[in-house]
Every structure is written in structure tokens, then in C-alpha cells.
Amino acid sequence: MTAAFLVCPLCAGPFDIQNGVWRCTAGHTFDVAREGYVNLLPAHHKHSKDPGDRPESLQARRAFLDAGHYAPLRAALVERLSALRPTGLLDIGCGEGYYTAAMAAQASTTVGLDIAKPAIRLAAKRHSGITWVVGSGARLPVASESVDVICTLFTPLHEAEMARVLRPGGRVLMVTPDAAHLHDLRAALFDVVEPHEPEKFRKGFEPLFEFVDQQAVRYPLALSPRDVNLLLEMTPYAWKARPERRVELEAREAGLQTEAAFSMLEFTKTPAPAR
């Protein structure tokens, strides 16, 4: 485990690691947990007692992802990173580490960060060789201009913080659902199905970033009844849909045929104005 480009969340000082303790130059200390992660989320930076995804949702997501349903998306991310060849990679909102672990082979140093402690605990238990951190994307415990590539999948965006920690010319790879993602599932749950709008994120990245590329990843998805249950548990659909619609969907013995559709957007940090 290495401090890499991480800094103290209280004073932004660099860390020294000795005997399982991270100590910054100002004397703030953070212990490495038994599972191998470090918690860099001070209590006063939280907006709730247990922020982030629920343990039940995380377990459902791990089971769903382990079944390979989103493996094509993971492969597309790895392929793109292999072209970028980053020295330092930061995965914001890494969850239980499914994508981070695969992407780490393309970088010299990888940090997976999530605000949910249960997610980081799961990730650290399974995947070694990665620095796992409980932290906030809104206040990254990361040194300014220290990271080559940031990946962020299906998580709230804090563009100014990402721009701060990226080196000049650094890249952001952002993944969001494409227009038709899980259309048949959503049609079974809701009277009106609003298409996802990945292009709306491009405006949010201006003027701190310049748009580079947008890649679609689409493929058919055959879901068993168990897969449907896991998918509902790991998404907001579990509480947005009317209960009777969910019960009806989960009762389908044949499961569900739908489409996975993702949009991977790439941005580069806008150069600072010449002085």
C-alpha cells in the first residue's frame, strides 16, 4: 500500500507510512484497516452517518458484475486506458472494485476511492496491489496536478476537483448510461421511460475540460429472474418503481431480454492561460 499522490484531508500535507499508520507532516494520523484500506473521510466532511451505497446494494452489484453482464464495458475501459498508459490512475466512486481491478494493470499506480466504507472494505478484501481509500469526490484527498487519468463510472461529478488534481493534459474517462440502456427493464417498471442523455454532461465539463471523444458500448443482455432481482437491488429502480410493478417483473419465469448501452466520454484538462 502506498500513499502515491494522496494527501491529508485535513491539511493537504504529504504522508509518511510506517507500521500501518499514515502520518502527515502536521501530525494528523490515519490507521490502515485490517482489510488494507485507509479512511481519509473526516467525520465533519460527511453529510450522513453512513454515506454511499448500502451493503445490500453492494453485495447485489458484486454478484451481478461477477456474472459478467458488464464485462464488455470493462474491456472497453481497459482498451482505452492501454492507449493512454497512465502513470497515476484515480478511480472515483470505485465501489467494490470490479472495474478498478481490471484497469489497474494499465497504470503504474492506482487508487480506488469511494465514499462508502462498505464498498472499499469489499474491494480491499478481494483486490491487492491497489490503494483503496474511503474519501469524498467533492473534497479529494489528492495533491493538485498529480494524477494522469481519472475514471468515474455512474457517480456524481465534481468537475472542479477533478481539474485540480489532474496534471496538465490529464484525461477524464467518464461512463454514463446511453439513451437505450435497460430500456425494456425500465418500460416494465415505469409508465414513461425517459431516455438517458449522456451528452448533457459535456456542458458541465466546460470550460475546465475540452471534449476529446465519445464511444458507445452496446450489446444485448439476457437476464435470468435472479439477475433481474440483483439489478433492481443495485440501482435506484429498487425504490423509484411502484412495488407492484417490481413484483410483477421479478415474477417473470423467463427473465428479461434487454440491452446494455453505455457512453464513455473522454475529456482533457484545458491548458492554463499563458501568463
Binned at pLDDT 50, 70 and 90, residue 45 comes out as: low
State the average pLDDT over residues 158-174: 96
3-state DSSP assignment of residue 36: coil
DSSP 8-state class, residue 45: G
What does the pLDDT look like over 73-121, one tens digit per residue? 999 999 999 999 999 999 999 999 999 999 999 999 999 999 999 999 9
Q: What is the pLDDT of residue 77?
A: 97
To the question of whether residue 127 is assigned a binding role by annotation, the answer is: no
Q: What is the pLDDT of residue 275?
A: 61
What does the pLDDT look like over 173-232, one tens digit per residue? 999 999 999 999 999 999 888 888 888 889 899 999 999 999 999 999 999 999 999 999
Q: Is 101 exposed, middle or buried (0-12, 13-18, 19+ CB in 10 A)?
A: buried
To the question of whether residue 161 is assigned a binding role by annotation, the answer is: no
To the question of whether residue 11 is assigned a binding role by annotation, the answer is: yes
CATH superfamily of the domain spanning 15-269: Vaccinia Virus protein VP39 (3.40.50.150)
Q: What is the pLDDT of residue 46?
A: 54
204: alpha, beta or left? (left if phi > 0; alpha if psi -120 to 50): alpha
178: alpha, beta or left? (left if phi > 0; alpha if psi -120 to 50): beta
Q: What is the pLDDT of residue 250?
A: 85
To the question of whether residue 94 is assigned a binding role by annotation, the answer is: no
State the average pLDDT over residues 39-48: 73
Q: What is the pLDDT of residue 54?
A: 83
What does the pLDDT look like over 9-19, one tens digit per residue? 999 999 999 88
For residue 52, is pLDDT > 90? Answer: no
Q: What is the pLDDT of residue 272?
A: 73
Shortest CA distance to 146 belongs to which of 18, 269, 273?
269
To the question of whether residue 151 is assigned a binding role by annotation, the answer is: no
State the average pLDDT over residues 166-177: 96
* Domain residue extents for the chain: 15-269
State in Å, rounded, how far the first CA of the chain is from the last one.
39
Selected residue with higher pLDDT from 42 and 88: 88
To the question of whether residue 88 is assigned a binding role by annotation, the answer is: no
